[in-house]
Structure 1
């Protein structure tokens, strides 16, 4: 058995845009009959794409989010002037890594590594203060595919953090990066983003009190619904003018935790995993968190991602058997968000 088990965090790009260059020759009338010059094609260097993975060393018990692996794209000649994709922008930040979906204009996934230390307040006060942060467009995303502030203006949806600001208190820069629109997706406000979703984010942070390492993956989903004719269809809203940003029907939180099996065996780790899928709708505060559990494979199939290896899934315990899957009802940021209109949506029952 190899000494390390690699847990794949997400699906990665099949290639990257390359190109030779397109030259346009403009001739005067005396040279109009001459054929255009031939521009020799020089292949562009093959791109490397950083691949975030979770490495778990069984011997040392150390875990980390790594970007050390690369994928080299080997393109056929038919794509020498450009590869149409799919393109996923891998955005590496201080507190998280994200894969940005250019078509939907929100993250395809985000990945974070939480520990008690990186959530701690230095000197009793957080270094990052959300009062000093503001939502901004992400210049690291190509202009054509960028989510914009006006897309959310009067949309009826909150600008919902995929990686919450409270997970990035380690520095003001880290917290500011959670306000980039590349980390944002449209969420129902009252009853979801400001309530049950925030309770789930808090539950993920509280896991650091029980576990040594906590990895959190947030995945927007578009799930089918069976209609009156018996057929299954995916229907979702698109906001913006022109419509640019897709509104997910559901959101998933997938967690992987590790801790020593006993004080006498600190290098032998217990691994737990769990997945929760919530509808992008009003959810009652008293809804049990365990009612939203699904197999990790269900999220992987729905999103087209490979989150964990088969070995990890076979060896891990379910998170709800390792700790209590129960949210604490707290009114996060209600005062700050008071007056912001939530979209009308059916209540979850």
Structure 2
């Protein structure tokens, strides 16, 4: 497994070849750009998480990624200073998942997938969100890239408020997560914004609104008219590999087809909440 390049490279991962602008100057403190085989990121030595991860998804790269079986290989990032990087032990009994910003499921080769498990690409993520809504967003974005041909994607955390939590006293826990998309063929863009908590609901925001929330201009080369209008984002849903591309009607929620389906869904949500509370009480 080869490591990243600490350089201003990876220009192919950025729309118009331009890295996101740090509108909030605080984000620039101890920030290190890293370039990997299939994604680029900017890492913060303050939060010990990525500030953002950038990818260029194509129809062919998504198809190649579907042929790569997932093999978990979380590891410290040796390219970063010891004091500025997260360690595997930081996440032990933290109550949080190790959440990818550039998803393992986007990686078109085994080597690229292994690189995605660097802790430089990871944030502490609520377990229910990571395995439910966020996974559905990631898969829906891959489906959209397959349908559209090419998408530029920038994913990252948001830390809002004066009392942000830290696991092991070192790694900051995001209050929200975003995934911004740009379709260069149609000239439209927008972002998913998701609270980092159980039973979170997503909302679509424009790049202009995201700039105020995250302190980032994720696609600085785009005209203001594109940044002000949020594109029609696909409803997050899970798929099996045999499913055809598509999804339910637009909207934030999908009504179950029957009362029995609704009841099962409610019981599942309650069970997840009780399990989360139990795990946090134990650990």
The number of residue pairs the alignment matches comes to 233
Runs of 5+ in structure 2 lacking a partner? 1-5, 20-27, 242-271
Q: State yes or no: 1:153 paired with 2:96.
A: no
- Give the structure with the larger helix fraction: 2
Tell me the secondary structure at the aligned position of residue 50 of structure 1: coil
Tell me the secondary structure at the aligned position of residue 253 of structure 1: strand
1:164 to 100, 103, 106: 103
Q: State yes or no: 1:181 paired with 2:119.
A: yes
Q: Shift of the alpha carbon at 1:325?
A: 2.3
Q: State yes or no: 1:238 paired with 2:238.
A: no
Q: State yes or no: 1:249 paired with 2:175.
A: yes
215-224 or 96-105, which deviates more: 215-224
**Aligned ranges 1:183-202 → 2 under 5 Å:** 183-190=121-128, 192-202=129-139
Post-superposition Cα deviations, 1:252-272, rounded to whole Å, max 9, x if no partner, equal: 11110122xxxxxxxxxx211
Q: Shift of the alpha carbon at 1:311?
A: 4.5
Q: State yes or no: 1:319 paired with 2:231.
A: yes
Runs of 5+ in structure 1 lacking a partner? 1-47, 57-62, 68-84, 225-233, 260-269, 333-337
Structure 1 pair 129/65, CA: closer, same or farther in 2 (3 Å)?
A: farther
Distance 2:208 2:278 in 1: 31
Q: Shift of the alpha carbon at 1:343?
A: 6.3
Q: Shift of the alpha carbon at 1:90?
A: 0.6
- Corresponding residue number in structure 1 for 2:25: none
Q: Shift of the alpha carbon at 1:211?
A: 1.4
TM-score scaled by length of structure 2: 0.73
Coordinate RMSD, CA, aligned: 3.0
- Corresponding residue number in structure 2 for 1:130: 70
- Corresponding residue number in structure 2 for 1:277: 193
- Corresponding residue number in structure 2 for 1:50: 8
TM-score scaled by length of structure 1: 0.60
1:112 to 42, 50, 55: 55
Q: Shift of the alpha carbon at 1:145?
A: 0.9
Contact 1:194–1:331, Cα closer than 8 Å, also in 2: no
Tell me the secondary structure at the aligned position of residue 46 of structure 2: coil
Contact 1:203–1:326, Cα closer than 8 Å, also in 2: yes
Q: State yes or no: 1:295 paired with 2:253.
A: no
Post-superposition Cα deviations, 1:9-43, rounded to whole Å, max 9, x if no partner, equal: xxxxxxxxxxxxxxxxxxxxxxxxxxxxxxxxxxx
Distance 1:189 1:330 in 2: 19
Distance 2:10 2:182 in 1: 15
Tell me the secondary structure at the aligned position of residue 216 of structure 2: coil
Tell me the secondary structure at the aligned position of residue 248 of structure 1: coil
**Aligned ranges 1:17-166 → 2 under 5 Å:** 50=8, 65=17, 86-121=29-64, 126=67, 128-131=68-71, 133-166=72-105
* Greater radius of gyration (CA): 1
